[in-house]
Chains A and B, each alone.
Chain A
């Protein structure tokens, strides 16, 4: 753990901060190109219908309209992120035969200005044959339910099963068995920047897309396949992105429409969504119906678990298959037990597709699992933290068929959160209307399972060093606000021993940065890109070291170090030269070839799920007004094992932001839907917490060293979004006696739960 504490673990302010506080940072909608046209979409007005006719004649007649396209004009190639299973690719950029949710994209227009484009999109007439629609997994899987996709009988697009150990036998011999049913709802990513994309046509039928995305490489590949042009004809450039949280990790119809019409018109085309588009039609977190059955010994040893989940996927697969897989994995995390059975089904309904959202199946699975642990603890007469300690995973534990846990600070997290929250004393003193509850989490640091079927390494970095002592880092890694533009430069600076300000970053341009990077999701960026950068930097250092041996005539046993912009002999630091000078000498012998190295990372021999796992525990304190049912979270305490935090301030930022999202998920955020139509399409009625709603948060680090992570780091972005719901639900139970098995915990549910409202 030989690293520079001035860089690794330091709270270095983000390097793009200054641009962002002065308004200079450019997001996609801030860009304009000469001759640029403005796009608009015509979306389905029905939840389920066959398209009989799309009449674009009136739209085409409007002055200023430059192009109008429907599905019929396009190559009609289906797409989806799960390229590994082509049958799962169920979406068309513009619908051809059928629409499956209110908002399904049918046609696109572009015009000289936004107003004309909107007018033209509204002038498109669609003749439908309305089909019966279904809005819940229960309806969708019922006998004789109408089918959304002919290829998916029973509306189940995918099933994942896991099974090991003697489930029935262990449940039969358990002293205590309970079975519970949980329901969780959809929420919006609610990133502040609505999606925006600009396609610029290039010579030779090529196109450059500036877009608000967290996965430029995925967009490049899927845009090329849906346009039916070579992958290398598409260049994706990510601008500043105003948040993603999983909502910007697929190719989107407007990206296709912008590129398709840019190629047809020879002019740049921009699409920018509105907030009401985002809330009415946008991706969201999967609602789930969960059944969980667990068996314990009387002294609290968890023996077996039977876990069944139905995911409400909406109209298309989107990232649903991954969520279906991961739910099974997360149902199996945190605790050791001998038998496990999981059955996850991804179900189609006539609603906007659900997809990846911060936690990727884990917030839902954990709400069930952690609530059930709290319920079991009460009936077993064991303190909930003690019950967890009895069963908690430790470093070296094996999750069958998944992974070996190479670092785990779960037990320490439990002990620390117990101490810092004053758990023991507060749980003993019972005050009506006040309560304290707990929820725990574990999360992946990037995925191993190659559903995108990339032929490239999962992460790549190109490092070039210059005789003036500076370096350039080229990476496709994606900063969407969480901070890798800073954190990855910290890693390179630490490895090369140069100042962070010496590093120029070129990122997120698929034409300029090495192949590939799968993007920002699954909390993969720090670990995977960090490792790729270290790999590249080590190669650079290997090219520089001989210079010192030559110039100082060193014995071959010496070790060379890179520190404080110098290259030096470890045993005798006075023997050194500046980093730039060293590069200068190294270049002299290379006959004009720059000093560049590429590094890569793909997890090897790390199981099927993830190379490393974070752990943690959170305690929430609430006050419940028993007359209004309003729940106020008065405090949160979190202990978190994210390995070595590369940037402490950035980790704290993830924690505090995750609590806001967790709070909204638990208490106030929900889509109000009627017959497939979303009724609350503004932030006035989609209620995410504001500054005044936020509780104080106390944060304790549990530092472990993750051997697979760069400088010992692992994920810090998503795991923290998981524990808040079960912790608050438990606290509400302690305060009122009402145990919420469904989210969100609205004032109305609380009042009903305590018998104050019929």
Chain B
């Protein structure tokens, strides 16, 4: 295994200082929080930067807050384990809570952040699929100002995003779930309990009083260069009563959206089959939650 590449390490104590640093070093800078993604990547020679800026000492950035009118705000340095155990996340965003409970290991959840998981832009990022299903957006801040980017526009390829080197993820904003809605996330891998996902599917579903779908988002993980929205399946569900047959067809539509590859974790063929199975299960669970048939 090669040596860790050399870099300068910066530990700014304020957001202003942090923004100054990433702006000054934008030609070769990485923002770090827990280091759970960046350190192994640097060690493997996959990530190289002359400067690493750690955000862990920037005050006020780790807050998690929820308001019924405004939804959820996850601060840029909020740890995955803190998000997982936050009572409002557990109550209103079960798919996200599930992802944050199950991903990686206890230690990595204690170190890593949701923002980091997204910034890393792995196609298999566990928090990405649920957050896409919830219609989340990111608040990106730089020295000159801030902008809000919908999460579905954020990823551009494996490890690639629209964020500029001098931008920092200040927060993740997630709309409050509407009435009669349900959401879920499921993943599979060969080691059943503790693993990176070979395939993941998340969905959030909103029904009217008659049980017709009036809002739906489905997101697929680890079956394309980025986490994907399954729009064809979503369109198929809109205005319909989601019965078993429709869910099976929606699952098939998800498979058509997926662009899986063969890799060390699974074959493309297996991944397609799992998209079908998981999509059906996730959508069925969303429907039951939205109709109030399942407790969360």
Contact of A115 among B3, B265, B277, B281 (CB under 8 A): B3
Q: How far is the CB of B208 from chain A (nearest CB, A)?
A: 30
B 107-166 contacts with A by CB, 8 A: none
- Least distance between B47 CB and chain A CB atoms (Å): 16
- Are A757 and B265 touching (Cβ within 8 A)? no
- Residues on B with C-beta less than 8 A from A4 are none
Q: Does A427 contact B (CB under 8 A)?
A: no
Within 8 A of B (CB), among A273-303: 274, 276-277
Q: Which of B25-33, B187-195, B212-220, B222-230 is the interface stretch? A: B187-195
Q: CB-nearest residue of chain B relative to A749?
A: B270
Contacting residues, chain B, for A692 (C-beta < 8 A): 192-194
Q: Closest residue to A694 on the B side, CB-wise? A: B193
Stretch binding the partner chain, chosen from A211-219, A369-377, A471-479, A626-634: A626-634
Residues of chain A with a CB closer than 8 A to B266's CB: 748
> Is B8 interfacial (CB 8 A cutoff)?
no
Mark each residue of chain B from 175 to 203: 1 if its CB lies under 8 Å from any CB of chain A, else 0: 00000000000001111111110000000
**Would you call B270 and A751 a contact (CB within 8 A)?**
yes
- Chain A interface residue count, CB cutoff 8 Å, equals 32
The smallest beta-carbon distance between B191 and chain A, in angstroms, is 4
**B281 surroundings in chain A (CB, below 8 A):** 627
Choice from A115, A122, A667, A679 contacting B190 with Cβ under 8 Å:
A667
Residues of B within 8 A of A757 (CB): 269-270, 273
Cα A628 to Cα B267 in complex, Å, equals 13
Q: Which residue of B lies closest to A275 (CB)?
A: B1
**Interface pair B264/A747, CB less than 8 Å apart:** no
Mark the stretch among A71-79, A437-445, A681-689 that contacts chain B: A681-689
B273 near A756 with CB under 8 A, answer yes
Query: Closest Cβ of chain A: how far from B125's Cβ, in Å?
Result: 14
> A690 touches which one: B3, B190, B191 (CB < 8 A)?
B191
How many B residues, CB 8 Å from partner? 23
Closest to A626 in B: B277
Given contact pairs A679-B264, A690-B191, A684 touches B196 in the complex (Cβ within 8 A): yes
Cβ B194 vs Cβ A668 within 8 A: no
A62 at the interface (CB under 8 A from B): no
Q: Give the chain A neighbours of B2 by CB distance below 8 A.
A: 118, 122
Contact status B188-A628, CB under 8 Å: yes
Interface string of A297-311 (1 = CB under 8 A from B): 000000000000000
Q: Taking the nearest CB of chain A, how far is it from the CB of B4, in angstroms?
A: 8
Nearest B residue to A748 by beta-carbon distance? B270
Q: How far is the CB of B50 from chain A (nearest CB, A)?
A: 18
Kindly supply a per-residue 1/0 record for chain A positions 690-705, scoring 1 wherever the CB is within 8 Å of any chain B CB and 0 otherwise: 1011000000000000
Q: Bound complex: CA of A118 vs CA of B5, how far in Å?
A: 12
Give the residues in chain B near A667, CB-CB below 8 Å.
190
Do A687 and B195 have beta carbons less than 8 Å apart?
A: yes
Partner of B192, one of A627, A630, A684: A630
A276-B193 Cα distance, complex, nearest whole Å: 23
Classify the secondary structure of B's interface with A.
Answer: loop
A672 within 8 Å of B (CB atoms) = yes
CB neighbors of A among B231-267 (8 A): 264-267
The distance in angstroms between the C-alpha atoms of A629 and B188, with both chains bound, is 10
* Pair A687/B270 contact, Cβ less than 8 Å: no
Q: Do A668 and B190 touch (CB < 8 A)?
A: yes
Q: Mark A224-236, 1 if CB is under 8 A from B, else 0.
A: 0000000000000
Contact: A627 with B277, CB < 8 Å?
Answer: yes
Known A118-B3, A274-B1: A746·B273 in contact at CB below 8 Å: no
What B residues does A276 contact at CB under 8 A?
Answer: 1
Interface presence of A119 (CB below 8 A): yes
Q: How distant is the Cα of A50 from the Cα of B274 in the complex, in angstroms?
A: 45
Contacts of B3 in A (CB 8 A): 115, 118-119
The answer to whether A455 has its CB under 8 Å from any CB of chain B is no
CA distance A724 to B266 in the complex (A): 24
Does A747 lie within 8 Å of B190, measured CB to CB?
yes
A-chain residues with CB within 8 Å of residue B191 when the two chains form the complex: 668, 687-690, 693
**A-side contacts of B273, CB under 8 Å:** 751, 756-757
Among A119, A274, A751, A758, residue most surrounded by chain B Cβ atoms (within 10 Å): A751
Q: How far is the CB of B87 from chain A (nearest CB, A)?
A: 24
Residues A490-526 near B (CB distance < 8 A): none
In B276-293, the 8 Å CB interface with A consists of 277-278, 281
Give min CB distance, A334 to chain B, whole Å: 31
Docked Cα-Cα span, A674 to B175, in Å, equals 45
CB interface residues, B 1-32, toward A, < 8 Å: 1-3
Asked if A680 is an interface residue, CB under 8 A from chain B, the answer is yes
* Assembly CA distance A689 to B267 (angstroms): 21
A277–B1 touching, CB < 8 Å: yes
> 15 A-B pairs, CB-CB below 8 angstroms?
A115-B3, A118-B1, A277-B1, A627-B281, A628-B277, A628-B278, A632-B192, A668-B190, A680-B264, A684-B196, A685-B196, A687-B190, A689-B191, A692-B193, A746-B190
* Closest A-B pairs by Cβ, 7 of them: A692-B193, A687-B191, A690-B194, A627-B277, A748-B270, A672-B264, A274-B1
Q: Give chain B's interface residues, CB within 8 Å of chain A.
A: 1-3, 188-196, 264-267, 269-270, 273-274, 277-278, 281
A interface list, Cβ under 8 A from B? 115, 118-119, 122, 274, 276-277, 627-630, 632, 667-668, 672, 679-680, 684-685, 687-690, 692-693, 746-748, 751, 756-758
Given A668-B190, A687-B195, 19 more pairs with CB closer than 8 A: A118-B2, A276-B1, A628-B274, A632-B192, A679-B264, A684-B195, A685-B196, A685-B264, A687-B190, A690-B193, A692-B192, A692-B193, A693-B191, A693-B193, A693-B194, A748-B266, A748-B269, A751-B270, A751-B273
